[in-house]
Chains A and B, each alone.
Chain A
Amino acid sequence: MGAEVVTVSTDTQFVHLAWQRDEKLLEKVKYPMGADPTGNVSSMFGVYDEETGLALRGTFIISPDGTIMNSEVNYYNMGRNIDELMRKFKANLHLSKHADEGCPAQWNDKGDKTLKPSADLVGKVYEALQ
């Protein structure tokens, strides 16, 4: 997918091993499973819950120069949509190569219309997207 994907919880790498080995659903998991037992990294990203010692469901896209381009945090009981994560990642890749463009709300993949902010576009976004 062109990115280093790391899943992170406050479990140790040993628990990660046990879980991945035992849980059939995780048979196909290929991403490194990061261990943050101190909660330091979770805290740095603002997803550490001091009361439980657990990390909230946070997703962060970091550019190759180390800048956070997207952040999304869900509470415990709400899952994430991987399609939406992929959409954001693809949009980021596109915009990193076309800094003068914008990916509008309905942008899904390469080839979809982007917008170039200009005087002509003011008040004419609907027409530009047709």
Chain B
Amino acid sequence: MKYALYPGCVMPTEQYAYEMSIREVMPKLDVELVDLKGFSCCGEPIKSVNQMLTLTLSARNLAIAEKEGLDIFAPCPICHLALSECKRILDADPAMNERVNKFLEDEGLKYSGTSDIVSTIDLIHDKIGIEKIKKLVKKPLKDLKVATHNGCHLIRPSEIGRPDDSENPQKMDKILKAVGANPLDYPEKLDCCGGLLTANLPEAALTKTGQKLKGVQDQGFDAFIDTCPWCHRQYDSKQTKAGETVAAKLDVPVLYLTQILGLSFGISKDKLGLDLNLSPVEKLAVVGGK
């Protein structure tokens, strides 16, 4: 399997642990990642300012991958939604397609709708498959009680076609079961991290983060697993501050799905960027024990 890795903005500018773990884990799963030059922001975070800008930026990135004849792997759910929605709109509306392509001409690009888009979840669950994961496990995460967090953009709106069910997403849970962990449903599972409010209401964003994570902590989970760099920034990087908004001392190990997969495959924690996680990941035996 070969995909163009579309990094987006947040992962390659600060969420390095996600990128490192992806670059470690994917080759083990026989996924070849191709780095292309020229990508830009997907436009989704500035959709509030100008939707046309979002649409064109997404089309532009798709066009870059199309040029190389590659499907796109977008690890960030926000990018994944922007690209998927762009494809849906432009493939259905010839007038809009023409308009957007007019903009792309300046850079010598053309969107024609030939590349598909996968996220971390459907790439692992649907394309690679659970069986392959199971075979690679060297350190099963026995009895690790984990809470999964898909991120809003990964599961909603289902009308656009999302990698997992909007109301009962189970693919991440199945992936984690395959490496021996024990994912459990919890009432706050579908809740938002608030991350996109960081632009204008950062306090409110942190409160959303704190509320969800406090729920997870109160229910005694060992770890909290995500796949979204925006969510991860909230839950991991800003965990202490998030705790303050809900008057709680939060102490929940937060890991990217690819990090925990890497650990179970026996990849060293340095290569997976675990020293970049600011949440107490060392609490986990699989991280703490050398």
- Same complex: no
Residues of chain B whose beta carbon lies under 8 Å from any beta carbon of chain A: none
